[in-house]
Amino acid sequence: MNVIVPLLAVALGWLLNELSSLIRLRREDRRTAGPVLTDLLEIRHRLLTLNEAVKEYVKELGKHLQIPPQAQLQFQQYLQTLLQTSFPQAPVFIEQYEEAVSTLARVDPIRAFRLRSQPLIAPFLDWVRSLAASSEPDVRLWNAVVEPELLGRFKPHIEELILDVARAHGWLTWWRARRRLAEPTLSEADRKWISDFIEKLKSAAETTPQKPAG
């Protein structure tokens, strides 16, 4: 009995110490996962939502104007570049993201390894899109095969990472992230707003008096 009691005390002390370390690690994991999750959601927004909104805008515009496919893709590229000026610039965003991942690596190196270089996806798509806009056959290939295949591959990949990091942040965050990912990329209200906006532009252009030439 005299031997068992000290052994039990040592075992209990070790268990409490391990439990305390686990709680501290869990708290640190949650704190570092937050910024990474925010950046991943931003990457998905640029990759999917912004792209879908621009395509919807060009599609609605095409109902009123005859725009060749090549010009449509060039216009999409222009709008993508214009709208992205409201977001953090690529070098700053990439640096910010990689710093957040490096912080996460202190407590979860395996997850951090999987998260590296994700901000490069959107610039890569922009670069490939700009190449595709150079000729009519390339535009058809881009619209029919390349873009659907690339986005079809990247979308589940980025969403898997989002849910993984959200789970590290907490079950409630995971549930909220899952609900958000289940929502349509572009809502019907967004599509209606774009359609109404194009209609208003058309009406304004038709009622604006044209200045005589010369």
Q: Using H for helix, E for strand and C for coil, what is the string for the chain?
A: CCCHHHHHHHHHHHHHHHHHHHHHHHHHHHHHHHHHHHHHHHHHHHHHHHHHHHHHHHHHHHCCCCCCHHHHHHHHHHHHHHHHHHCCCHHHHHHHHHHHHHHHHCCCHHHHHHHCCHHHHHHHHHHHHHHHCCCHHHHHHHHHHHHHHHHHHHHHHHHHHHHHHHHHHCHHHHHHHHHHHHCCCCCHHHHHHHHHHHHHHHHHHHHCCCCCCC
The span from the CA of 214 to the CA of 71, in Å, is 29
Cβ atoms of 132 and 150 within 8 Å: the answer is: no
Predicted local confidence at residue 176, as pLDDT: 92
Predicted local confidence at residue 12, as pLDDT: 53
Residue ranges of the chain with per-residue pLDDT less than 50: 16, 18-25, 214
The closest alpha carbon to 158, from 35, 47, 32, 51, belongs to: 47
Q: What is the pTM of this model?
A: 0.74
Predicted local confidence at residue 36, as pLDDT: 86
Predicted local confidence at residue 61, as pLDDT: 80
Q: Is 45 exposed, middle or buried (0-12, 13-18, 19+ CB in 10 A)?
A: middle
Token pair recorded at residue 151: 């986005």
The span from the CA of 99 to the CA of 12, in Å, is 38
Predicted local confidence at residue 202, as pLDDT: 75
List the chain domain ranges. 32-199
